[in-house]
Each structure stands twice: as structure tokens, then as C-alpha cells.
Amino acid sequence: MSRKKKRSHRNVSFWTAGKSLCPNGSIFKVLYAHRLAFRTLVRKYSCDLCYTPMIVAADFVKSIKARDSEFTTNQGDCPLIVQFAANDARLLSDAARIVCPYANGIDINCGCPQRWAMAEGYGACLINKPELVRDMVKQVRNQVETPGFSVSIKIRIHDDLKRTVDLCRKAEATGVSWITVHGRTAEERHQPVHYDSIKIIKENMSIPVIANGDIRSLKEAENVWQITGTDGVMVARGLLANPAMFAGYEETPLKCIWDWVDIALELGTPYMCFHQHLMYMMEKITSRQEKRVFNALSSTSAIIDYLTDHYGI
Ligand SMILES: Cc1cc2nc3c(=O)[nH]c(=O)nc-3n(C[C@H](O)[C@H](O)[C@H](O)COP(=O)(O)O)c2cc1C
């Protein structure tokens, strides 16, 4: 782990189980799942909470190298949830204890449908193992004593929604702080998101529920928030395309691109990541010809020259 500083937990106590994520009743806006530089960018544009990308708890516990490459944070990177892939309560609680001084909570990934993750017993296959989820939550609760430290889960839904509600109730009874629901089954990819199912889950829970899936603008976020009755929304691809989305921008403003260049260079972002994010952000505001040229650039200085020539930044 690098660039870490221990932080106080006192300003995030509103996450504790049973309380609303946003005490003033407004929409709670969450980014899934990015590295420090991109988290820094979206926090500038009204994102309330950020998650790290999924980290395999077993590797994190066993290897200092894995810790250093997978987890970087700094004082401004707050509030922060570290998401783990796990299938073992002891390893997960060990990982939680390691990150506890540098984060505000951990999340258990119960939604990743990738084949490798399912084969290892991680991700979406956990929605069929409510007892294991319960044991993992319990063990983290027992091992991490920091007040206000959250333990959340992110799930996909079952074909039979009763099973999802049962899973969520068991998790709630064990002390999970909130649940994020990507409203698709593990098999679904591009099918419409089942917001009606997210609504039913929310109606059956006392803890906060966050809705996720196919939200591409602040207007859509507010709509999903209202129709599901949830406490907040989580966005992944919408923010990749427009990191200023939560601040109400319909397209990535040039100022945001400029901010990304500043932040990424200041934090020493690897070139591939720096370039890739710009490609996502500029997707909507560049022509096909411009994309061809921009996507083929191969150095930071070439990118800065391009941006200066085309956008005056
Ligand atoms: C680049 C990328 C990385 C993702 N990484 C994770 C991850 O590490 N853990 C996870 O639970 N979901 C991950 N997801 C899934 C998203 O959290 C989200 O559930 C899904 O993309 C649907 O939301 P969206 O329509 O806002 O993108 C990722 C998605 C994208 C596009």
C-alpha cells in the first residue's frame, strides 16, 4: 500500500446499520469501482462515496506486493470502501483488519459474474451461499472493532426474487451496513435492469439499499432513485463516460478533462490508464476521425499536445 495515512472515522458514522445513507434525505451518489486518480476526479464532481476495484482478499493478505499494487489511497480519498473478492471468513477479516485504518468500510463482492471469479467461489456465486455471506460479515464484525467501520455487500438478483430477499434479510440480521443491488441476474448482460426487483428488495429491508445498473445521467439517477425508493445509486460506466455526471453535466465538460490530466499526472498514473480514461471521456465529444487519431497516440506528451491543439487546454 502506498500514499496512505490513517484517518479518523468520526465523520462517517452515519453509515452505521439502520440509518439512512444520506441523513438530509437527498440522493446518495456512489462510484463503482476505480483507482485513486479517477476517484479523486469524481469526488470533485459531486460523488459522495467511492469503492476500490475488487481485490482478492487471499492475495491481499498473503502478498505485500499485491497490497502495494492493488491498494493506493491518500488523505483526500474519503469516504472510501475497499471491495474484496472472498470465500473465506478468516481471510476476509484479516484483509479488513489490514485496510481498516485507511478506509471507511469493506464491501463483499457478491455480484461479479466473470467466469474466473465464479470458478474460485467469488462474486455472483455467493448469492447462492447466504450462510457463507453471513459468516464472512460476522467474522469481520467480530474482528474489526473500529466504530463506524461499515461492512456492505454488492449483489445481483436471482430469477426467484424470494431467494434474493432471503439473502438480504439474513445479511441484514448479521449486521451488514447496506446492500447494493445490481438489478440483473448473474446470467444477464445487456437485458434491461429489473428496477422493480430492486424496489421490492428495498421494501423488505430496514438498512439502506443502493440501486445499480444502466444509469447514464443525473436525471436517470434521480428517476431510478425515485422509482426504486432506494437510498442512493451506484454508477460505473456512466461515470467512465462522463465523470462530471453526478454534478449534472450531460457530457464531459472540458474542465473535467483538464482536471483529469492534472490529477493523473500529479498522482503518477500509468500511461495506459491515463489514455484509456481520456478515450472513455471523449467518446461522445469526438468524431470518428478524431477518435482514430487520439486513440493511436502513444505518449503523455503527444496527448497533451493533441488536447492543447484541439481544445486549447
Ligand atoms: C470497468 C468496470 C469495472 C468494474 N469492476 C467491478 C468490480 O470490481 N466489482 C464489482 O462488483 N463490479 C464491478 N463492475 C460492475 C459495476 O459495478 C456495475 O455493477 C455494472 O457495470 C452495472 O452498472 P453500470 O450500468 O452503472 O455500469 C465493473 C464495471 C465496469 C464497467
- Quote the cell numbers at residue 167: 439473502
Question: Is the CB of 304 within 6 Å of ligand 1?
Answer: no
* Residue 78 is a catalytic residue: no
Please give the mean pLDDT across all residues of the chain.
91
pLDDT higher than 50, residue 116:
yes
pLDDT higher than 70, residue 210:
yes
pLDDT more than 70, % of the chain: 91
Under 8 Å between Cβ of 29 and 62: no
236-249: pLDDT as tens digits: 999 999 999 999 99
Q: How far apart are CA 35 and CA 48, in angstroms?
A: 16
* Residue showing cell 474519503: 78
pLDDT higher than 70, residue 12:
no
75-115: pLDDT as tens digits: 999 999 999 999 999 999 999 999 999 999 999 999 999 99
Single pTM value for the model: 0.92
Q: 114: annotated binding-site residue?
A: no
Question: Is the CB of 235 within 6 Å of ligand 1?
Answer: yes
pLDDT, position 11: 32
Which of 112, 125, 168, 256 is labelled catalytic?
112
CA 243 distance to own-chain centroid = 13
pLDDT higher than 80, residue 2:
no
**Considering the domain 10-247 in this protein, what is its CATH number?**
3.20.20.70
Residue nearest to atom 15 of ligand 1 (CA): 236
- Quick one: 153 exposed, middle or buried, by C-beta within 10 A (0-12, 13-18, 19+)? buried
Q: Quote the strand ranges of 10-165, DSSP E.
A: 28-31, 49-51, 55-56, 80-85, 105-110, 150-157
260 or 26: which leads in pLDDT: 260
Q: For the chain, give every domain's residue range.
A: 10-247, 254-311
Question: Is the CB of 237 within 6 Å of ligand 1?
Answer: yes
Question: Is the CB of 215 within 6 Å of ligand 1?
Answer: yes
pLDDT, position 197: 98
Q: How far is the CA of 180 from the centre of ligand 1 (A)?
A: 12
